[in-house]
Structure 1
Amino acid sequence: MDAQRPSTSGAFNGLPIEINREIVSYLDTDKEIADFRLVCKGTNDAVDGDFLSFWRFKFRQFFALKAGTKNRVLKQQYQRRKKYMRLGAGINWYHGWSKPETRVLQVLAEIINESFQGGHEHDDYGRPRCLNQDQLLQFIQNSKNFLAVKRPRAPKAHGKNECINPALAAVQIMCAHFLFENLNMKHNIYCFEVSQKAVYQTPAKAPMFVGLNKVEVNMELVLHGLNFFRNHMVGTDMGMHHMMRYMHPTQKPSPWQTPLSEGCSPLTKHWKGTYAFLDHADLRKVRAVDEDDDDLEVFIDGNVDIDGKIQLECGEPGAFPWSQLFEKHLKSSPPPAQAPRTRAQGRSLIPNDEKPTAIQFRGEGDDAEDHFYATGWLTSLPPQPAGLDIPGWQRITFMKSFDTDEVEAITDNLWAYEGVVLPGGRIIIGRWWLDYSGPFIFWAVEPELGFEGNITETSTSIL
């Protein structure tokens, strides 16, 4: 008998299809399902009969269901996703250019882009949570080294395959949303000194945005920023680790809570964050050292254990004063009505008419013992990187002052900030500068719990 042809005389043939389907629904692995399907005609019908309805049931166990998707497509998507997620968990990730790596990245990006399609659940703290996000977290935990990819050397001295694939960096950035939930999980952080050097580079050498019209995110720089702050948050010998360990889960960085979409989206009100700096002598040293040097020195970062807070208010362009002095430093003027394009998208990108391309905001908060004010802009960026087209990236710029909230009265003591709002609007990574510069991170939080368990409207953090 052909091993791939179901038997017509097996014991399961005598059972109703409903019983066989109940049995297969309890099988844990895809191999067990495949084996069960080949037992006999009755088991084959339980899996592939009834217009493939079993595959709709199986898909909905693990993934968000996009409305209107046919069962035939769901079967193909389920099998493809499971296949490449198993493959991706077992391979040794390097720079993201190999055929297996690129295929896994396509699947992971698909799971990211289709998160929160249809219904969703809630976590233990009432926050929206999607099955796709649980699958991404499981992939991270099962992977051999997905988040411990070797950093490349200078691209000008090597071929394309020596540089990190922006697609790999983008998916790593999205997966990094889950790394702050459990400080006890395994955190593989490659060479902190490499990320430290990257985040303290000058804007001229390491711009936050690159490509045509400067609307392409420098994915590798953002990834270095996440690695830099994650090291301070999870490293047991770091000052920020103790603060993060005892922080309520609703006050830690968290994943996106809504479907990802193109265009500009207002930021939530409450934020925490911190920034880092080096003294001038160390800053000169870290910038001067050769990036190909295998013996990079680690310098002592200042301020990273400070818990800053800010509350934001968003409005339409023109809602808040914006001086020419601010514009001179930040170049934050809204883009044209048509959405910006990357070089790869060329003229093919259709602008999103349902969302604005720019939003203005102002904020007020506390940085250590100082009260400050902030005014700035959000501008939309196109879906990226090319080939994955993850939507929801935004550029954020703002000016921070400790003096007054009257914009026109400010003449000095200004701190400029430029960064990337990650898709979903829950984490911001970027660079601040005055006469020198350094990295910053913000993350959205819930209103803090009072001592008696009541929600209190406390000010929130920025840095």
Structure 2
Amino acid sequence: MQADRYESVADPSQRSRLLELPNEILQYIATILPDDKDLLNLGRVCKEANARILAPNAHTWRSRFGQKYDIPKGRSCEELFVEYQIRTIVLNQDIDFKNRENRLQQTMWLEVIQNMLSEALLLPLRVGEESKTLGQLKETMLRSRKFLNRPRTSHPCELYYAVQLCLTPLALDPDISKGCYRQDYDIDKVYSYTKDPNGPLIEGNNLDLGMLLDFRGFWQRHLLNSTEGTFYDTFLRLAESLRPQFRKTDNSNPMSLSSSWLGYYSCVHPLPLTLDDLRRRQSCADLDSHWDQIEMMSLEVVAQSSEPFWPEMCNRIIPRSESPTIRMETVYFNGYQRTYGGSCNASNPMFGFIEPIKISYGGFSGWTRICFVLCEQVHETGQVITEAPGWVHGYEAVIIPGGRIMMGRWLDMKDLSGRGPLYSGIFRSQTRRPMNPAFH
């Protein structure tokens, strides 16, 4: 779309009566036209109409932009004119990241999606208000299904990985995406099969985006593909309000952990003898072993504090950051875990911490490391939960920008052969409950 291209469709010797209208009315007419082609045709009535309606600084562009997208504060009409044209041109292109050619076209497309994601994640929203930019992102992903459906690419880059990860709620939306192939993620990394699981999965500010996308690929496959026979049925039965969401509507600090989470973990028992065996049988959720049903995990955060609580036995396996800067901003929390839909009394104590990741990977801020431990509540006593006789499971994950999705892994803290991937998302707000004394 070019505002300065003019082809007269009227008699140049006569001034159109349309131009007798005040600018406000003329530009209002321009904003209610249903299609951009109609807008261009209106601008072609004559040069004066073109200048009044389609000039870069015309209010037309603010109104036109605002009909489709959320408008960031402080943006001029001319800036919105440029951005509107870029998005119109770039997003209408057919993009294929399996093609080794057209790298410049692919980069431009990713940059436009990155800008739109930033708007959808960060711009303030009223309670109950939906992001217009997010609506446009959904339409774009419906036209570009290959991008989400086949997340692995032959020439990845930080921007590609970051955009893919921030689009996880759409990648796990069965109305927009579908299950990827098993070859679209590395099951070795998902289960830390050939790597010693001792030590941090995320160390300091060093975030392996490719590894995170492997976790996303695993869940995209097993949540959305009916042939897996694993988590598909329970995930598809979830109400829409319980499905993965993009962001916290209050736009709060990423270090303010939301109170309620719902998700899955996966395991394989016994751990396969070879990597090929693991590739064939990727989860006990096929119900061929110690699982007799698929259970969803509910996590409730009760309280947050700056007071450190992370026992040494936990720190040996999942260590906190050694950075003094990160330590100063670490937030500790406690709560409980239970089976979603199960008895409120059958809950297990939980404690952990969240650390900031200071690097804005892919241009997105808000990446956060979360680590927590769940202990089996064998009996109600005041003893320290890490000394309880039941199972103790540790979790380490990344909360992606938007604050509503975490992905990572879990470990059996007493037997490291028990381990696997974790996915969880915020699913509702909940009144905080009194702190359980067994958490201390």
For the criterion TM > 0.5, the same-fold answer is: yes
SS in 2 for 1:146: helix
Describe the shift of the 1:232–1:98 C-alpha distance in structure 2 as closer, same or farther (beyond 3 A): same
- Structure 1 CA distance, aligned partners of 2:296 and 2:35? 44
Q: How do 1:370-449 residues align onto structure 2 when only pairs under 5 Å count? A: 371-385=347-361, 388-403=362-377, 406-407=384-385, 409-410=387-388, 413-434=391-412, 435-436=416-417, 437-447=419-429
Does the 8 Å contact 1:447/1:456 carry over to 2? no
Residue 248 (structure 1) aligned with residue 231 (structure 2): no
Q: Distance in 2 between matches of 1:310 and 1:41?
A: 63
- 1:11: Cα distance to partner? 4.3
Question: Which residue of structure 1 lines up, in the alignment, with residue 438 of structure 2?
Answer: none
| Identity value in percent | 18
Number of matched pairs: 404
What does the per-residue CA deviation read over 1:23-58, in whole Å, with 9 as the maximum and x for residues that have no partner? 322334434433432332353144235941111111
Cα deviation, residue 317, structure 1: 2.4
**Where in structure 2 are the equivalents of 1:217-232 lying within 5 Å?**
217-232=207-222
1:84 matches 2:90: yes
Question: For residues 238-277 of structure 1, what are the structure 2 equivalents within 5 Å?
Answer: 238-258=229-249, 264-277=254-267
Pairwise mapping of residues 284-433 of structure 1 onto structure 2 (< 5 A)? 284-286=273-275, 297-302=280-285, 305-318=294-307, 321-333=309-321, 335-337=323-325, 357-367=329-339, 371-385=347-361, 388-403=362-377, 406-407=384-385, 409-410=387-388, 413-433=391-411
* Residue equivalent to 2:133: 132
Conservation of the 8 A alpha-carbon contact between 1:192 and 1:227: no
Deviation at 1:249, TM superposition (A): 1.9
1:298-342 Cα distance to aligned partner (Å, 9 max, x none): 5444369311112113423216x33221222211257423x69xx
Deviations 1:252-292 (A, max 9, x none): 2211134878x75221111111100112352x322788xxx
Task: Give the SS at the match of 1:366.
Answer: strand
* Alpha-carbon distance change, 134 to 426 in structure 1, aligned in 2, over 3 angstroms: same
Per-residue deviation at 1:228? 1.6
Structure 1 residues 73 and 219: CA distance shift in structure 2, 3 A: same
- Which amino acid counterpart does residue 410 of structure 2 have in structure 1? W
Structure 1 length-normalised TM: 0.76
Distance 1:39 1:297, change over 3 A: farther
Distance 1:428 1:318, change over 3 A: same
| Residue 98 in structure 1 maps to residue 74 in structure 2 | no
- 2:80 matches 1:74: yes
Larger Rg: 2
> Which residue identity is paired with 2:91?
M
Residue 119 and residue 389 in structure 1: after superposition, are their counterparts in 2 closer, same or farther (change >3 A)? Answer: closer
CA contact (8 A) 2:116 2:133 kept: yes
SS, match of residue 76 in structure 1: helix
Residues 336, 39 of structure 1: alpha-carbon distance in 2 compared, 3 angstrom cutoff: farther
Over residues 367-423 of structure 1, what are the superposed CA-to-partner deviations in whole Å (9 max), with x where a residue is unaligned? 4876322211100012432xx320000001112211477246347732221110111
Amino acid at match of 1:129: E
Report the CA distance shift for 1:252/1:18 in structure 2 as closer, same or farther (over 3 A): same
Structure 1 gap ranges (5+): 153-161, 290-295, 341-355, 449-454, 458-463
Give yes or no for contact 1:273–1:308 (8 Å, CA) kept in 2.
Answer: yes
* Amino acid aligned to 1:427: I
Q: Within 2, Cα distance between the matches of 1:196 and 1:267?
A: 29
The verdict on how the C-alpha distance between 1:411 and 1:244 changes in structure 2, with shifts beyond 3 A counting, is: closer
Shift of 1:243: 2.1
RMSD of aligned alpha carbons: 3.4
1:161-203 Cα offsets, whole Å, 9 max, x none, are: x44223112101111212444x344415133674444412348
Determine the C-alpha separation between the residues in 1 that align with 2:214 and 2:62.
Answer: 39
Gaps of 5+ in 2: 286-290, 434-440
